[in-house]
Amino acid sequence: MTHPLFDTGFYGRLRQQAGSQWHAYIKHDFVRQLGQGTLPPAAFRHYLTQDYLFLLHFARAWGLLISKLSEPAALRSATASLNAIVSELPLHQAYCQQWGISEAAMASEPEAVETLNYTRYVLDVGHTGDALELLTALMPCVAGLC
């Protein structure tokens, strides 16, 4: 299910044109098993740890975006997104504690190649591109959650 905002306009057209690629993304075995509660516990623990590492870099990327903005409305919107990510970290840590995963264990976990590739790409765009380029690089994650 998606948010109605993402079903229309430019983004809606992009999703429609992606066709089977979009469906493969949202219907991936990992996503399906996660939703059904059948994902193996070891895979879920790995996901939790990688998500924590991802969130740290994602927050940094939103900070870079804020530094590239000048309009007050855009600054407020990007700051709200950064605050939401930073506010999610303690919730994520508390949930991981329930799975027996400490913050120290998450911080010392090596980043998976997928985490490393996406986060470093986004951070590279953040350091070298303009605000629109960075927002475009951030969108797959934001849109994938809707």
Question: Tens of pLDDT along 21-78?
Answer: 888 877 889 889 988 999 999 999 999 999 999 999 999 999 999 999 999 999 999 9
Band (pLDDT 50/70/90 cuts) for residue 144 is: low
Summarize the confidence of residues 5-26 as an average pLDDT: 78
Q: Domain 41-145 adopts which CATH fold?
A: Heme Oxygenase; Chain A (1.20.910)
Is 77 in contact with 142 (CB distance < 8 Å)?
no
> One-letter amino acid identity for 81?
S
What sign results for the dihedral spanned by CA atoms 109, 113, 118, 123?
positive
The CA dihedral of 46, 113, 123, 93, to the nearest 10 degrees, is 10
Average pLDDT over residues 107-131: 96
CATH 1.20.910.10 residue ranges of the chain are: 41-145
Report pLDDT for 1: 45
Does the pLDDT of residue 146 top 50, yes or no?
no
